[in-house]
């Protein structure tokens, strides 16, 4: 391991990428402590605290930026929402679907559209947060002539923070190691690790019952980590043979290989998408009712803002909806990144075939069937990992800082980073982490 680390920093390009990524992460963490101008964060923290339920989730994903109400308080939520909406629109708008199939140029155009849509969503969310929390602004920026300036500072700061996060994520993707947005979320969740460890320690001191619960949670977390690693590495291999053909005086083909179909091909994105959707109703209701919902709105709010001590029926409804969203987004996201028809056409063009299956449409149908079964297994696993800790939290009435979703994101992003380093190392004839 030490030799591998030494080899990594002996490669100039890889060393630059790692240092650049660390530098961007430091900039991001610095930004989480820059409060929105004119905002009384002390009063806000005293009233809101670390937050439970929806506020706790938002604060965890933002790396504590929400509780401090920094310029990164909205984190990359608007970007994720914009990505979801644009992906769904590709299913109904032919021009967007065509762009998705045009390779790198099409992806660049879609990325541009996503950023424009992100700005629009950021404006709406920042306006909602202003209406909900403008009472924490200084009096000179709330009433009278300064009210307009206060609104512009508040909304402009949050929108600028989201735009900066998008830019930082793009720079990590382009010049660093791994997907920039995923790494930012990863760092945000990891930053809560010390606080989570202290909370578990304090819970363990509460008596033998609490100690048993804490030990059970730690064992469950270890099991989840092991399961996530196993599922991330698992794949279904479709055998492929290539027919022999003569081109000029040379003989080509005759090899046997396979098409790897990953069980967790969609990775952590379905979890992030589902989480964003589950946070949306309670956020909007909280904005409309100023966090004091009553009647029908309170029923909906309680369902979508579950926490330790929530009613069992709210936990059950929330869990079922969360599972359905995760399973649905897993299939949708997999459909966008894997095209069985394109794979079948590529095989046919290069003289490849699946043993026992006709080339062309039969091959694409066979790959689609295998993909559906494999994706179903991965989707159910993702849903179980995300939901079981929520149900456990309801049964034990202990607030769990790191739920299954957080652990899944951490492990998935860590594996992605390791694979990127592995690829860089192997391409330079070094032994990687996974050997």
Strand partners, 245: 252
Report d(CA 300, CA 426) in Å as an integer.
52
Q: Are 184 and 421 in contact (CB under 8 A)?
A: no
How confident is the model at residue 25, as a pLDDT? 92
Which candidate, 288, 281, 326, places its Cα nearest to that of 304?
281
- SS3 of the chain: helix, strand, coil, percent, to 5: 70, 5, 25
How confident is the model at residue 165, as a pLDDT? 92
- What percent of the chain stands above pLDDT 70? 85
Report d(CA 172, CA 190) in Å as an integer.
18
What is the overall mean pLDDT for the chain? 80
Q: 10 Å Cβ neighbour count for 301?
A: 24
How confident is the model at residue 398, as a pLDDT? 54
Which candidate, 71, 46, 50, 72, places its Cα nearest to that of 59?
50
Q: What confidence tier does 250 reach under pLDDT thresholds 50, 70, 90? A: low
- What percent of the chain stands above pLDDT 90? 9
Report d(CA 110, CA 107) in Å as an integer.
5
Report, as an integer, the average pLDDT of 272-289. 74
How confident is the model at residue 28, as a pLDDT? 92
H helix or E strand, kind and range, residue 258: strand 256-262
What's the predicted TM-score (pTM) here?
0.76
Report d(CA 266, CA 331) in Å as an integer.
8
H helix or E strand, kind and range, residue 352: strand 352-353
Q: What's domain 193-402's architecture?
A: Orthogonal Bundle (1.10)
Report d(CA 33, CA 21) in Å as an integer.
19
Q: What confidence tier does 118 reach under pLDDT thresholds 50, 70, 90? A: very high
**15 vs 397, residue with greater confidence:** 15
Range list of H helices, 176-207? 180-190, 193-204
Question: Domain residues of the chain, as ranges?
Answer: 1-191, 193-402
Secondary structure class of 239 (helix, strand, coil): strand
Q: Assess whether pLDDT exceeds 70 at residue 247.
A: no
Residue 210 C-beta-side C-alpha neighbours within 13 Å: 13
Q: Which of 30-34, 41-45, 306-310, 409-413 has the highest mean pLDDT?
A: 30-34
Residues ≥6 apart with Cβ < 8 Å to 280 = 81
Q: Which of 208-212, 287-291, 423-427 has the highest mean pLDDT?
A: 208-212
| Burial of residue 313, with CB atoms counted within 10 A of its CB: 0-12 exposed, 13-18 middle, 19 or more buried | exposed
Residue with tokens 């790191």: 402
Q: Assess whether pLDDT exceeds 60 at residue 52.
A: no
**22 vs 423, residue with greater confidence:** 22
Rounded CA Rg of the chain: 24
Report, as an integer, the average pLDDT of 79-85. 83
Report, as an integer, the average pLDDT of 280-285. 74
How confident is the model at residue 281, as a pLDDT? 78
Token pair recorded at residue 317 = 């409804």
Token pair recorded at residue 231 = 């599922």
- Which tens digits make up the pLDDT trace of 144-184? 777 888 889 999 999 999 999 999 998 998 888 888 888 88
Report, as an integer, the average pLDDT of 230-251. 75
Q: What confidence tier does 408 reach under pLDDT thresholds 50, 70, 90? A: confident
Domain 1-191 has CATH 1.10.3370.10: yes
Q: Assess whether pLDDT exceeds 60 at residue 402.
A: no
Report, as an integer, the average pLDDT of 7-18. 79
Q: Assess whether pLDDT exceeds 90 at residue 105.
A: no
Secondary structure class of 211 (helix, strand, coil): helix
Q: Which of 33-42, 56-65, 284-293 has the highest mean pLDDT?
A: 33-42
- Which tens digits make up the pLDDT trace of 325-368? 889 888 888 887 788 888 888 888 877 888 888 888 888 888 99
């Amino acid at each position: 391991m030490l030799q591998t680390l030494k080899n990594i920093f002996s490669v100039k390009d890889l060393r630059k990428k790692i240092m650049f990524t660390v530098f961007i992460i430091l900039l991001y963490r610095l930004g989480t402590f820059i409060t929105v101008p004119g905002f009384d964060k002390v009063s806000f923290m005293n009233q809101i605290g670390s937050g439970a339920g929806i506020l706790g989730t938002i604060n965890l994903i933002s790396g504590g930026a929400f509780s401090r109400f920094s310029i990164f308080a909205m984190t990359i939520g608007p970007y994720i929402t914009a990505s979801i909406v644009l992906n769904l629109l590709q299913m109904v708008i032919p021009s967007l679907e065509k762009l998705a199939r045009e390779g790198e140029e099409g992806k660049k155009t879609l990325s541009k559209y996503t950023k424009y849509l992100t700005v629009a969503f950021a404006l709406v969310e920042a306006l909602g947060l202003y209406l909900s929390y403008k009472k924490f602004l200084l009096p000179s920026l709330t009433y009278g002539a300064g009210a307009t300036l206060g609104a512009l500072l508040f909304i402009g700061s949050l929108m600028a923070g989201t735009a900066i996060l998008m830019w930082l994520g793009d720079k990590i993707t382009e010049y660093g190691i791994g997907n920039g947005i995923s790494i930012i979320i990863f760092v945000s969740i990891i930053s809560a690790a010390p606080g989570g460890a202290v909370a578990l320690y304090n819970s363990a001191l509460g008596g033998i019952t609490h100690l048993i619960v804490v030990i059970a949670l730690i064992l469950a977390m270890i099991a989840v980590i092991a399961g996530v690693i196993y599922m991330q590495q698992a794949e279904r291999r479709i055998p492929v043979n290539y027919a022999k053909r003569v081109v000029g005086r040379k003989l080509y083909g005759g090899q046997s290989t396979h098409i790897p179909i990953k069980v967790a091909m969609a990775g952590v994105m379905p979890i992030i998408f589902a989480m964003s959707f589950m946070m949306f109703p309670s956020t909007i209701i909280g904005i409309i009712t100023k966090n004091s919902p009553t009647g029908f709105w309170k029923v909906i709010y309680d369902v979508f803002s579950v926490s330790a001590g929530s009613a069992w029926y709210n936990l059950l409804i929330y869990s079922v909806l969360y599972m359905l969203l995760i399973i649905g987004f897993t299939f949708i996201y997999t459909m966008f990144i894997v095209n069985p028809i394109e794979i079948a056409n590529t095989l046919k063009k290069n003289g490849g075939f699946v043993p026992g299956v006709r080339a062309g449409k039969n091959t694409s149908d066979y790959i689609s069937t295998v993909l559906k079964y494999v994706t179903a297994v991965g989707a159910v696993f993702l849903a179980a990992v995300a939901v079981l800790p929520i149900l456990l939290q309801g049964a034990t009435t202990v607030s769990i800082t790191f739920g299954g979703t957080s652990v899944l994101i951490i492990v998935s992003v860590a594996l992605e980073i390791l694979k990127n380093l592995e690829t860089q190392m192997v391409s330079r004839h070094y032994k990687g982490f996974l050997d």
